[in-house]
Chains A and B, each alone.
Chain A
Amino acid sequence: MSGAETALDRPLRDQAAVIAAGELDAGELLEATLDRIAERNPTLNAVVETFPQRSREMLASAPAGPLHGVPVVIKDEWPLPWRAQRFGAAEMLAATPPQPGESGPYRALRDAGAVIVGVGNMHELGSGSTGNVSYYGPARNPWDPERCPGGSSSGPAAAVAARMVAGAVGADGVGSIRYPAAYCGLTGLKPTFGRAAMAGHHMAEYSTMIVSGPLCVDAADARLLGSVLCDEELTRGEPRGLRIGVVRDLVSEDVEAPVRASCAKALGLICAATDSELVEIELPDLETSALAAVLIANSEGMAGLSPARLNRLDPELSPLGRGLLKFRMLLPAAASVKAAQVRALFRQRVAALFDEVDLIAWPTVPAVAPPLQAPLVELPSGTTTADQANVRGGALANLTGIPAISLPVGHSEGLPVGLQLQAAWGADALLLDVAEALEGANGRRKVDARPPLALDSGQPAEA
């Protein structure tokens, strides 16, 4: 195996370090990355387009920077100078037609010296937590290709989990970085609203929900890529004596038993490693907050809709997508107004809670990745769709604007389990600090676990 091939399996920061030290040629790493995508992507459909010549040109002009020469994938949610985004759909229904261009995430990556090596698949129109519906066909979970990779940042997550690249840029409007991070066993950060690069996104001017963020193997890489996207250092600290809030509610209790056990174990390790304590907190009406988030996200996605436009939808849009777009037009305006009131209430409730605790914790998703063909989950309360189950835990951070992170904390049925931590506005770095503390406490066994198709011979799938 060549040095470049070996480097493919190393973290983002190590790739950057060996290139900076002159120990690895960035051109060789780029070509090895393209070869690996060609080798592994047919199974996963994580990367929907590569553009080797554009990538080589990007490398040739890459400035010295924290990601100099490092290959990354970007979600199909932003334009590139040579490619308009598709938003995972045959037709985007944006207020203005998408065009190639320099998006905020593109500029952030370029200025950091990174090399965009491909575009990641995504759930059609960003409207699902599973990734099983896309113009490009479903992305697949590297841990089991018959399972959902999570959505809507399905491709970026699957590409990193399969070690095609060490880092990818996703977007999170209602959990869309954290769900695939949980399903694929990655570290996924949803920054505080407005903190990370968003320019060029077709909803950047009016969305109050969506942020860009990193999907990486571990917290140190998420810190590196997150700092690039935020254009400021997410400074490392030493968390001690934290108060971690846990709720006794459906979001933490209507959960598969192994998921609940893995999250509880991880929280115990975090407490032991950081001399912290769990504090039971009250956060009632979470289901109402989730509905409010969905209503706001739906209404913000309607800028390009009109009856005439809906009567000439591209027939290649999925039947589900077509039906839901038309259904959005029937949602009562009064519900959106009430959702805004609920948002104000929850922002105030959450702000008051962060006077008492430093973090709020619950499982990112209540069940491991469901089958692609039928994304249903079996919870103690019964069978439900993965989307309905996942939004319970994913919506609060987008509704209120707070940062949140999903961490890999275990496996059940051979599939990853994710723990979500949420912090006060601007405390993004604390989430990464705690994630690193957990990695230290469990010997990095969870972040270093690789799916079968990304294993070297003799390496255990689940460390």
Chain B
Amino acid sequence: MGDSNRGDDFIPAGLAALGIEADEIELAVMTAAQAMFWPPILELFDFDASAARPEPRPDLSRAPAR
């Protein structure tokens, strides 16, 4: 299934599940956003970040603890 088809199914289904209404223009925006974001999000799930030490509450003002 292509990305655009995924969006055709996923976006209306997701909106319906949440009870969110959308007009045609908003749907077109969401479909474009889905085409742009979904492939890298799917890749993100497979990204190996296991080398990172857990930093559950990072202090962004400082370097991470060594």
For residue B1, CB closer than 8 A to chain A, the reply is no
Contact of B60 among A193, A324, A330 (CB under 8 A): A193
Contact of A342 among B22, B26, B49, B54 (CB under 8 A): B49
Does the CB pair B61–A425 fall under 8 Å?
yes
Q: CA of A342 to CA of B52 in the docked complex: distance in angstroms?
A: 8
Q: CA of A345 to CA of B52 in the docked complex: distance in angstroms?
A: 4
* 0/1 string, B25-52, CB within 8 A of A gives 1: 1111110011011001101110101011
Q: Report if A351-B21 is in contact (Cβ < 8 Å); known contacts: A291-B40, A320-B29.
A: no
Does the CB pair B44–A335 fall under 8 Å?
yes
Contacts of B37 in A (CB 8 A): 291, 331
Q: CA of A345 to CA of B55 in the docked complex: distance in angstroms?
A: 9
Does the CB pair A327–B60 fall under 8 Å?
no
Does the CB pair B29–A194 fall under 8 Å?
no
Does the CB pair A354–B29 fall under 8 Å?
no
Contact of B20 among A329, A347, A426 (CB under 8 A): A329
Does the CB pair A307–B18 fall under 8 Å?
yes
CB distance from B22 to the nearest CB of A (A): 6
Contact of B15 among A324, A326, A332 (CB under 8 A): A326
For residue B2, CB closer than 8 A to chain A, the reply is no
CB distance from B10 to the nearest CB of A (A): 7
CB distance from B32 to the nearest CB of A (A): 8
Does the CB pair B15–A344 fall under 8 Å?
no
Does the CB pair B58–A347 fall under 8 Å?
yes
Instruction: Report how many residues on chain B are interfacial, defined by Cβ distance under 8 Å.
Output: 39
- Do most interface residues of chain A lie in helix, strand or loop, or is the interface mixed? helix
Which residues from 209 to 238 on chain A have a C-beta closer than 8 Å to any C-beta of chain B?
Answer: none
Which of A193, A330, A344, A348 is most buried by chain B, counting CB atoms within 10 A of its CB?
A330
Does the CB pair A330–B14 fall under 8 Å?
yes
Q: CA of A424 to CA of B33 in the docked complex: distance in angstroms?
A: 33
Does the CB pair A319–B26 fall under 8 Å?
yes
* 0/1 string, A312-325, CB within 8 A of B gives 1: 00000001101110
Q: Report if A310-B61 is in contact (Cβ < 8 Å); known contacts: A326-B26, A327-B33, A330-B11.
A: no
Does the CB pair B61–A343 fall under 8 Å?
no
Contacts of A6 in B (CB 8 A): none
Does the CB pair A338–B22 fall under 8 Å?
no
Does the CB pair A401–B61 fall under 8 Å?
yes
CB distance from A100 to the nearest CB of B (A): 29
Does the CB pair A330–B22 fall under 8 Å?
no
Q: Report if A342-B29 is in contact (Cβ < 8 Å); known contacts: A307-B19, A330-B11.
A: no
Q: CA of A351 to CA of B39 in the docked complex: distance in angstroms?
A: 29
Q: CA of A385 to CA of B43 in the docked complex: distance in angstroms?
A: 21
Q: Report if A330-B58 is in contact (Cβ < 8 Å); known contacts: A335-B44, A338-B44.
A: no
Does the CB pair A319–B41 fall under 8 Å?
no
Contact of A425 among B20, B55, B62 (CB under 8 A): B62
Does the CB pair B40–A195 fall under 8 Å?
no
Q: CA of A301 to CA of B10 in the docked complex: distance in angstroms?
A: 22
Q: CA of A292 to CA of B47 in the docked complex: distance in angstroms?
A: 11
Contacts of A307 in B (CB 8 A): 18-20
Does the CB pair B58–A343 fall under 8 Å?
yes
Contacts of A342 in B (CB 8 A): 44, 47, 49, 52
Q: CA of A334 to CA of B46 in the docked complex: distance in angstroms?
A: 12
Q: Report if A192-B63 is in contact (Cβ < 8 Å); known contacts: A327-B29, A338-B44, A341-B52.
A: no
Residues of A within 8 A of B (CB): 192-195, 208, 285, 287-288, 291-292, 295, 307-308, 310-311, 319-320, 322-324, 326-327, 329-332, 334-335, 338-339, 341-345, 347-348, 351, 354, 388, 400-401, 424-426
Q: Which 10 A-B pairs have the closest CB atoms?
A: A323-B29, A401-B60, A345-B52, A194-B61, A193-B60, A344-B55, A341-B49, A344-B52, A323-B26, A330-B14
6 A-B pairs with CB atoms under 8 Å apart are A288-B43, A324-B30, A329-B14, A338-B47, A344-B52, A401-B58
Known: A327-B11, A342-B47. 4 other contacts (CB 8 A): A193-B61, A208-B60, A311-B19, A335-B44
